[in-house]
Amino acid sequence: MRLRLATLVVCTVLLTLAAPAQDWPRTRVYSALQAGRLLDPDRELVHFSLTCTLRIEGSSYPVVDLREVVKGAATARGVNHIVLFDSTLHPVRTIAYNLERPLFCVENHLYLLGDLAVGNLQPEGNVLTFSHHGATVAVSHVDANAYPLPTTRERKALPSRLLRNFCLADAELGQQSLFRRDAKLLQDAQLVRRSPALHHLAVHKARDLHAPRLDGLARGRDPLEVSLVGAGHRVGQRHRVFIGNQVLAGDLEVREGAAHLCEHVDVALGPRSLRGRGVVLNDRRGGECAKRFEVAAVDRVTPLNLCLDILFLAHRPLDRDGLGAVQNLRRPTVMARLWRPGGVCAGTRRHGGDHCYPCWVMITTIQSHILDQHLQSDDASGTFSWTLSGITLATKMIAAEIRKAGLNDVYGAAGATNVQGEAQQKLDVFANEAMLHCLGLRDSVAALISEENDEPVIFEQHENGKYIIVFDPLDGSSNIDVNVNVGTIFSIFRKPDGASVESVLLQTGANQVAAGYVLYGPSTVFVYTTGSGVFGFTLDPAIGAYVLSFDSMKMPEQGSYYSVNEANYETFPATYQQYLTELRTGQMGRTYSSRYIGSLVADFHRTLLKGGIFLYPPTDKQPKGKLRLLYEANPLALIAEQAGGRATTGHGRVLDVVPTNIHERTSLIVGSRLEVERLERILGI
Amino acid sequence: MVLDPRWTATVDDGLKNAEWDKYDETIKREVAGYNQRLGSTTGYTQVDWKLLKAVLWVESGGPTSREWNKKVMQIGNPGDAAYGVLKRGAEGSQMVMSTQLWEDIRKKDISDPTLNIRAAVAYVFTRLGKFTEASIEDPSDAFDHTYIVASGDSLWSIAHKVGTTQLSLKARNPGAGKAIHPKQKLVYRRASMQLTVSGWRDFTTANIATYYNGGGDAQYAAKLNYVLDLFKKVKR
């Protein structure tokens, strides 16, 4: 008795923790699979579903179950993947599986149907535990009886909602016509007579059903076959697909293949809610399942409101033979999807009278912004977006680590110095490894140059690598001890086709295809340019995504601040001293104030927003300057110029400097156009 | 499970048509090679070549198939993961294949039916093998080497620099797993992370259906069983 009670308590706790799938529409999931190039054109997609959402280090990570079969094979061979997305639906990693499909999530644990060896490597187990923002996965095994089954919770959630609006569409079978604008908005659930009809959100070909694969989609052999797809959003955390051969005025006849597995139908549709609601599940052969469900009265289809996300799929109109005893609807091929009111989706919106589409809160994440930009350019393949996503992922990891810096006892030096001779911080190490790891997994990356590594990291196995990424993983890290802002700076160069990586490591800043930085401050801000404007994004911790917050950033032509380490004033060249005197004495037409944080990214970010000038001039001690050309001066110079400002080394334009080594130092003066031009005149350049 | 009568009628043809046995010698020779080469690995039991012959019949559909004299085992079909895995020697396949076969798969035409069968057999063994990654010290490196930790070093960078593994460094230098310091002396031997065969799944029709077919054809195991039963009736 005590054992049973303990088991109940454990299960209750686990059920409470069970994470429901975030309510992503299938269109978004499908688009994300396409954008991530996860759908192989040589395979036939037979199933995809959003299984559940993991919570990893405080952020949401949707899990998608993706199944394909190899086209053209005499005997179909399955290729199945678990796809882990980040909260912006950008793929983080994929894990191949055989039959061990994902079932549900509890926090950062993903439970599987059977033991899986990730990458065919031992150990194998039925629970995948993710960490490091999905980059690391540990495999373990629990007894199936100990699974925190979500069924109870699902059923509690079932009866509470009513369907009001359906979007109906008549996409062609075989077409991937997403976001069709000809969907009709109905005021209530009902059957329509359009054909051929297949929901445009469903996969473009459905599979025939057989008992062991209840979650295949309906496909072709049976002309009357109709699929009922419970996509698992609210119905349950497990995707379930059931196939019947008719949907007739509220009757759902379950095809013989599924009919003998009554308990699955029961769980999927919630029998308590069905009772008396007018849905009949009928095995045409009159099996046991039919008896169980025929207690319901034939009424209308509306009782299916118990499922918030149900698709009815039909291949072609039903003919007279398929109607059976039901007379009032003769050609009821239907597909319908509920647009969930409230929550993320604010409802449905009419467009041009007959059209409808979900009304989303329009936010632009960095991934969609990059995609939008590059889909219009020559890089329509998404490679650049995929590459940059490595940086966004790494910086989110770094931001999360910084947030808990004081808690994790990671203050202070790790007892080593980096190649620059600076005391190396633990967070430096973490940030560097995060960047190396996240970018090293992108096969589009040919080489990485980090402030923390004395040599470039070249990925010889990345045959298609076309980008060289230069970065300072944690600029100003010595400021962590005093809780002052730090940042990550990056710069991206293209490796020309056919060129060896070594020969193109040292390029002028003018060759940068993108540059940016992340400022870890009161909020985490990501600023980047690809040479057509500067855009700033703020990390929304609620959804774990960088959201566009500064569109087309422009640096004021003149500001009111200058930023320099004045302790070095006496060691500056006389020209710089003269310039600073001008600023202080109002000779630039206004009185300047001094702001100096000592964290390059923070000082630059202020200069970008407020205008003015940032200076790190040569000193007696460091006559060539202190800042690094490749991963500090170059990226900030490109951003400044793109925002309308200027950047100089004191001898000429920063972006024209030909580097001689990857850790080359330079002086840097960057800021508003008027301030920098005045200094250039004094310096005679 | 009821198999499609059209399919059973097709393979029933194998009862009277000797063309279906065309690749017997290839399969026998190939499976014998695995039995010999892998026989000493943990958990390995001798594999009956007829199981692989059954895979051939199911995969190909027999001599009337267009691919009977080409990609008879379907390896190399666009979108098929197996060919890429074998070419890369990934997922443990390099451990089970002979060096010659790996070279042939990388360099020769996979449409050659004999090579296609050999590749498919290799993939079956790959999928049914259990592999573990372990740090293996180079047996030819019989002496300890020393390394003095420099500023900025990490175990990963040291291992990378001197050609050993973090695991080996930790094993030979107790305490190094927690922290290392500049000027600290570390002992190492050359080592690398390598896959080892740690066991085998049973060579059953169900496992072949699961791990080789990946659930693409839900009747795969039933088809294999049907063909194996058929072999008992073949009198040639």
SS (HEC) of A602-666: HHHHHHHHHCCEEEECCCCCCCCCCEEHHHHHHHHHHHHHHCCCEEECCCCEHHHCCCCCCCCEE
pLDDT value of position A489:
97
Q: What's chain A's Rg over C-alpha atoms? A: 30
Give Cα separations from A623 to A572, A619, A666, B35, B99 (angstroms). 9, 5, 9, 71, 59
Q: Poorest-confidence range of A11-25, A46-60, A223-237, B132-146? A: A223-237
pLDDT value of position A256:
31
Contact A432, A448 (CB under 8 A): no
Q: Of all residues in chain A, what percent carry a pLDDT higher than 70?
A: 58
- pLDDT mean over B80-97: 92
pLDDT value of position A369:
76
pLDDT value of position A266:
41
Report CA B177 to chain centroid distance, whole Å: 34
Interface test with A, best of B80, B91, B184, B208 (most A CBs within 10 A): B80
Contact A545, A87 (CB under 8 A): yes
Q: A90 versus A260: which is more confidently predicted? A: A90
Candidate ranges A65-79, A251-265, A299-313, B183-197; pick with highest mean pLDDT: B183-197
- Chain B, 138 to 157: residues with Cβ < 8 Å from chain A are 151-154
- Comparing alpha-carbon positions, the chain B residue that sits nearest to A452 is B152
Q: Poorest-confidence range of A159-163, A424-428, A500-504? A: A159-163
B182: nearest CB among A119, A211, A416? A416
Checking if the pLDDT of A14 tops 50, the result is no
Q: Poorest-confidence range of A198-207, A584-593, B63-72? A: A198-207
Contacts of A115 in chain B (CB under 8 A): none
Q: Are the beta carbons of B80 and A424 separated by less than 8 Å?
A: no
Mean pLDDT estimate for chain A: 66
pLDDT value of position A587:
87
Contacts of A68 in chain B (CB under 8 A): 79
Q: Poorest-confidence range of A341-350, A637-646, B176-185? A: A341-350
Measured CA to CA, the distance from residue A470 to residue A633 in angstroms comes to: 12
- pLDDT mean over B69-78: 92
Q: A244 versus B230: which is more confidently predicted? A: B230
CA nearest to A158, candidates A21, A273, A238, A303: A273
Contact A276, A247 (CB under 8 A): no
CA nearest to B163, candidates B133, B131, B136: B136
pLDDT value of position A491:
96
A78: nearest CB among B78, B214, B219? B214
Q: Are the beta carbons of A119 and B91 separated by less than 8 Å?
A: yes
Report the gap between the CA of A413 and the closest CA in chain B (Å).
11
Can you spell out the DSSP letters for A88-153?
TS-EEEEEEESS--EEEEETTEEEEEEEEEGGGBS-EEEEEEEEGGGTEEEEE---GGGS---HHH
To which residue do tokens 């500067």 refer? A534
- Comparing alpha-carbon positions, the chain B residue that sits nearest to A43 is B79
Q: Poorest-confidence range of A134-148, A196-210, A582-596, B155-169? A: A196-210
Mean pLDDT estimate for chain B: 91
Checking if the pLDDT of A411 tops 50, the result is no
Contact A550, A666 (CB under 8 A): no
Q: Are the beta carbons of B152 and A419 separated by less than 8 Å?
A: yes
Q: What would the pLDDT profile of A277-286 be if each residue is shown by its tens digit?
A: 333 333 333 3
Q: A424 versus A543: which is more confidently predicted? A: A543
Beta carbons within 10 angstroms of residue A476's beta carbon: 21
Measured CA to CA, the distance from residue B4 to residue A218 in angstroms comes to: 18
Checking if the pLDDT of A631 tops 90, the result is yes
- If pLDDT is split at 50, 70 and 90, which confidence band does A215 have? very low
Contact A664, A631 (CB under 8 A): no
Structure tokens at A356: 């409808």
pLDDT value of position B1:
55
- If pLDDT is split at 50, 70 and 90, which confidence band does A42 have? confident
Contact A306, A169 (CB under 8 A): no
Contact A511, A494 (CB under 8 A): yes
pLDDT value of position B93:
93
Beta carbons within 10 angstroms of residue A63's beta carbon: 26
DSSP lists the bridge partners of residue B205 as: none
pLDDT value of position A382:
66
- pLDDT mean over B155-179: 86
Q: Poorest-confidence range of A105-109, A596-600, A609-613? A: A105-109
Q: Of all residues in chain B, what percent carry a pLDDT higher than 70?
A: 99
Measured CA to CA, the distance from residue A655 to residue B215 in angstroms comes to: 55
A43: nearest CB among B79, B82, B215? B79
Q: What would the pLDDT profile of A296-347 be if each residue is shown by its tens digit?
A: 222 222 222 222 222 232 222 222 222 222 222 222 222 222 222 222 222 3
- If pLDDT is split at 50, 70 and 90, which confidence band does A643 have? very high
Q: Are the beta carbons of A70 and B213 separated by less than 8 Å?
A: no
- pLDDT mean over A111-123: 86
To which residue do tokens 């990570």 refer? A61
- Comparing alpha-carbon positions, the chain A residue that sits nearest to B182 is A416
pLDDT value of position A339:
26
pLDDT value of position A470:
97
Q: Are the beta carbons of B195 and A121 separated by less than 8 Å?
A: yes
Contacts of B216 in chain A (CB under 8 A): 69-70, 73, 75-79
Checking if the pLDDT of A654 tops 50, the result is yes
- If pLDDT is split at 50, 70 and 90, which confidence band does A363 have? low
Checking if the pLDDT of A579 tops 90, the result is yes
Q: What would the pLDDT profile of A246-258 be if each residue is shown by its tens digit?
A: 222 222 333 333 3
Three-state DSSP class for B115? helix
A122: nearest CB among B130, B215, B217? B130
Give yes or no for a cis peptide into A123 (omega within 30° of 0).
yes
Structure tokens at A468: 């060289």
Q: Does A567 touch chain B (CB under 8 A)?
A: no
Checking if the pLDDT of A190 tops 80, the result is no
- Contacts by A346-352, CB closer than 8 A, 24 or more apart: A347/A165, A348/A165, A348/A167, A348/A185, A350/A185, A351/A181, A352/A181
- If pLDDT is split at 50, 70 and 90, which confidence band does A13 have? very low
Stretch (H or E) spanning A266: helix A262-269
Contacts of B130 in chain A (CB under 8 A): 117, 122, 124
Contact A189, A163 (CB under 8 A): yes
Q: Does A1 touch chain B (CB under 8 A)?
A: no
- pLDDT mean over B6-31: 93
Contact A54, A37 (CB under 8 A): no
pLDDT value of position A146:
60
What are the b/e assignments for A15-36, b being 16+ CB within 10 Å?
A: beebbbbbbbbbbbbbbbbebb
- pLDDT mean over A32-44: 86
Contacts of A422 in chain B (CB under 8 A): none
Checking if the pLDDT of A434 tops 80, the result is yes
A76: nearest CB among B91, B132, B216? B216
pLDDT value of position B38:
95
Q: A137 versus A378: which is more confidently predicted? A: A137
Amino acid of residue B39 = G
Burial class (CB in 10 A: 0-12, 13-18, 19+), B107: exposed
- pLDDT mean over A430-444: 87
Q: A83 versus A26: which is more confidently predicted? A: A83
- If pLDDT is split at 50, 70 and 90, which confidence band does A144 have? low
Q: Does B4 touch chain A (CB under 8 A)?
A: no
Q: What would the pLDDT profile of A489-533 be if each residue is shown by its tens digit?
A: 999 999 888 888 888 889 999 999 999 999 999 899 999 998 889
pLDDT value of position A129:
95
Q: Are the beta carbons of B218 and A454 separated by less than 8 Å?
A: no
Q: Are the beta carbons of B81 and A96 separated by less than 8 Å?
A: yes
pLDDT value of position A142:
80
To which residue do tokens 């293949």 refer? A257
- Comparing alpha-carbon positions, the chain B residue that sits nearest to A81 is B214
Contacts of B132 in chain A (CB under 8 A): 121-123
Q: What separation, in Å, do the N-terminal and C-terminal C-alpha atoms of chain A show?
A: 87
Q: A306 versus B71: which is more confidently predicted? A: B71
Checking if the pLDDT of A191 tops 50, the result is no
ipTM: 0.85
A418: nearest CB among B79, B152, B214? B152
- pLDDT mean over A455-468: 84
Checking if the pLDDT of A218 tops 60, the result is no
Q: Are the beta carbons of A210 and B216 separated by less than 8 Å?
A: no
Q: What is the value of pTM for the model shown? A: 0.46
Contacts of B175 in chain A (CB under 8 A): none
To which residue do tokens 């983080």 refer? A92
Checking if the pLDDT of A20 tops 50, the result is no
Contacts of A117 in chain B (CB under 8 A): 130-131
Beta carbons within 10 angstroms of residue A350's beta carbon: 11
pLDDT value of position A425:
52
Measured CA to CA, the distance from residue A332 to residue A314 in angstroms comes to: 9
- pLDDT mean over A470-480: 89
Q: Are the beta carbons of B154 and A429 separated by less than 8 Å?
A: yes
Report the gap between the CA of A412 and the closest CA in chain B (Å).
14
Q: Poorest-confidence range of A150-154, A295-299, A510-514, A585-589? A: A295-299
Checking if the pLDDT of A365 tops 50, the result is yes
pLDDT value of position A26:
67
Checking if the pLDDT of B109 tops 50, the result is yes
Q: Are the beta carbons of B151 and A416 separated by less than 8 Å?
A: yes
Q: Of all residues in chain A, what percent carry a pLDDT higher than 90?
A: 31
Q: A237 versus A508: which is more confidently predicted? A: A508
What are the b/e assignments for A605-624, b being 16+ CB within 10 Å?
A: bbbbbebbbbbbbbbeeeee
- If pLDDT is split at 50, 70 and 90, which confidence band does B76 have? very high
pLDDT value of position B151:
82
What are the b/e assignments for A445-470, b being 16+ CB within 10 Å?
A: bbbbbbbbbeebebbeebeebbbbbb
Q: What separation, in Å, do the N-terminal and C-terminal C-alpha atoms of chain B show?
A: 29
Contact A559, A604 (CB under 8 A): no
CA nearest to A192, candidates A336, A338, A356, A350: A336
pLDDT value of position A374:
59
Checking if the pLDDT of A49 tops 60, the result is yes
Q: Poorest-confidence range of A384-393, A519-528, A597-606? A: A384-393
Report the gap between the CA of B198 and the closest CA in chain A (Å).
8
pLDDT value of position A366:
81
- pLDDT mean over B33-48: 94
- pLDDT mean over B56-85: 92
pLDDT value of position A430:
86
